[in-house]
Structure 1
């Protein structure tokens, strides 16, 4: 009994929105409910306080310590890594008088990047993208809340791309220490967008590798799987960055009193960077489609070459088969069969026909 054929494993396509938290459907608006594609991590807190002359870096153990350390005369950067402690987020929201819808948006990590003006504070939701060790892209939501003297950053898990900002604060170089919370929020957004360029460079290098081997790749399945992975990364990258651009545009045109006037040219520059990222993504998508077409064309050409060789071989053997078929018939009266020279003449005729056809094909440059 023959073994049943094994079906090939299907490529898994991740849904755009999914949740590990049941019970979110039909909940009351403003309900603090975690929604995300992975289990929430335990919250860890950090606090950076600075002005033009002084700066301090503190790692509090609890949200109560964070709130007790806040000072009015300094810029307070409160960073929360992890969304498992919803009570801590509620206490943080109560202290800064955050709307319940804000806490709900922070806990919904599948939110579209956006900006909302609540008067006494601004809520900016964006996406931070990092490359994992297994050459996949991790999408993490970052919520930035801007108040009159503080910036709250709430992330899904530890690890971010904000170290350049922390180093600039520590060294005191540049404008960061001379401006208020809105400039700190801009610096964080600028680092996030700048990090997109490093991912674009990595994706561009992958596309260059595929482009270099598109006309000579022999492993069709492996080539197509790898190229489709890159195209899927580009498509999701585009879906993520497009609303980020809209968010930056809305922030640049906001008339909120929380945004300093000196910030306007910097926000325009940030907008230009976001547009440049989108243009690069569109260019890479076109490049990926072109590589796909070149590969399919090369596969088709190789198949045509194989078929041409087989056709030439078949054409050469058609007259030989005819001669062999004629003299292979079992008729009693075939005068050539009784002649001693019949066998070598038949061979000579078939060889001559074959050589003549090969010479003819060569002159036509058919192979």
Structure 2
């Protein structure tokens, strides 16, 4: 157990992250980063009480919770920071829509992180974020590190994050989630281009199941992007105690990025609809060709069937039955009729 201290006097030089403790906090369920313009430090913990012992009263504190299974620990952390019980319910309920809510002492964000697993499966993860005056708390649905870029910038004093307040940190975290949307959309765009090549292949039986899967994924992305777009548009109107005026240009840029994501999703959905129409047209055209051939064959056999039916009647007094050349003449007549019909169809360009 690490010794409890108020604020470790540890500086960080570029390229040299500092871990207070023996483990990498990025691999644990509970981690904390404290920083100010002059230094930064990173701490892992096994329990909430151990984590809360590390405070950063003179700078910014970022607490990250990996996984939501330990509801008791989350409730304990919420009580310590004065987070409303309804907010805790929203954090634990991973089916929430993206939104932004303002409380007396904090802003509450719900986001949906997107990433692609090695099995080429699109995964949706809920991320909750609580922004206070000098503290940011993030709650991740599953263990992972989608904020690795932000961590590196803090620890290596890259960019402006160490020079700005907690609202800029919250902006950076939300921006990293939105940036992941573009990576996912790039991958989906490549798949859609592949579907355009597959659309004319009538023998591709996996085409429709595969493209329907992409269509459903785009619908899910649309359902999380549009609420986020609406929520971010509300940020400039919220209390200046949480969102400072100098953050305005960054919020506008973030909102523009989300609008771009939303427009890209709509464009991809239209492309998918167009590709499906092309495939259906190709299948319909192929079916028409098959039906045309079958119709021609059936039409050829109509007069032949009539002739065979007439001479298949069991009447004794049929003069043609006694004629020596009746059989070959009948065959010859049927062949001439079939050839004549084929020439007629060819002349009319029916095949």
Sort the TM-score into its range (normalised by shorter chain): 0.7 to 0.9
The structural deviation recorded for 1:196 is 0.8
The structure-2 alpha-carbon separation of the partners of 1:54 and 1:330, relative to structure 1 and needing over 3 Å to count, comes to same
1:69 is paired with a residue whose SS is: coil
Q: Does 1:288 align with 2:283?
A: no
Matched residues in 1 for 2:304 and 2:71: separation? 85
* Partner in structure 2 of residue 357 of structure 1: 341
Residue 81 of structure 1: how far off its partner (Å): 0.7
What corresponds to 2:285 in structure 1?
A: 301
Residue 261 of structure 1: aligned partner: 245
TM-score (normalised: structure 1):
0.83
Uncovered stretches (5+) of structure 1, i.e. residues with no partner: 1-42
**How far apart, in 1, do the equivalents of 2:328 and 2:68 lie?**
91
Distance 2:315 2:85 in 1: 101
Where do residues 80-91 of structure 1 align in structure 2 (5 Å cutoff)? 80-91=65-76
Q: Say if 1:176 and 1:184, in contact at 8 Å, map to a contact too.
A: yes
Within 1, Cα distance between the matches of 2:242 and 2:305? Answer: 91
How many angstroms apart in 1 are the aligned matches of 2:176 and 2:330?
83
2:345 is the counterpart of 1:343 = no
Which residue matches 1:110? 95
Partner of 1:163: 148
Matched with 1:75 is 60
**Number of residue-to-residue matches in the alignment:** 325
Are residues 1:133 and 2:112 paired?
A: no
CA–CA separation in structure 2 for the residues paired with 1:114 and 1:358: 69
Aligned twin of 2:84: 99
Structure 1 position 219, deviation (Å): 4.4
Q: Could you tell me which of 258, 262, 268 is aligned with 1:278? A: 262
Equivalence for 2:212: 228
Deviation at 1:96, TM superposition (A): 1.7
1-structure distance, mates of 2:94, 2:240: 25
- Tell me which residue corresponds to 1:54: 39
- Displacement, 1:153? 0.6
Given that 1:204 and 1:284 are in contact with CA atoms closer than 8 Å, whether structure 2 keeps it comes out as yes
Match of 1:181 in 2: 166
Q: Cα deviation per residue 1:112-159 (whole Å; 9 max; x = unaligned)? A: 221122232211111112223333322221111111211111111211
Within the candidate set 221, 228, 234, 1:244 is matched to 228
Report the more deviating stretch, 48-57 or 338-347. 338-347
8 A contact 1:45–1:78 mirrored in 2:
yes
Alignment partner, residue 193 of structure 1: 178
Higher mean alpha-carbon deviation, 296-305 vs 277-286, is at 296-305
Stretches of 4+ aligned residues off by more than 4 angstroms = none
Greater mean alpha carbon deviation, residues 152-161 or residues 262-271: 152-161
Question: Shift in Å at residue 210 of structure 1?
Answer: 2.1
Which stretches in structure 2 are left out of the alignment for 5+ residues?
A: 1-27
Q: Please give the alpha-carbon distance, in whole angstroms, between the structure 1 residues aligned to 2:202 and 2:131.
A: 52
TM-aligned CA deviation for residue 260 of structure 1: 2.4
1:208 to 190, 193, 215: 193
Q: What does residue 10 of structure 1 align with?
A: none
CA distance in 2, matches of 1:334, 1:88: 102
Alignment pair present for 1:366 and 2:347: no
Shift of 1:45: 0.7
Whether the 8 Å CA contact 1:117–1:256 is kept in 2: the answer is no
- Separation in 1, partners of 2:145, 2:269: 27
- Please point out which of 309, 314, 327 is paired with 1:325: 309
Identify which of 151, 156, 161 aligns with 2:136: 151
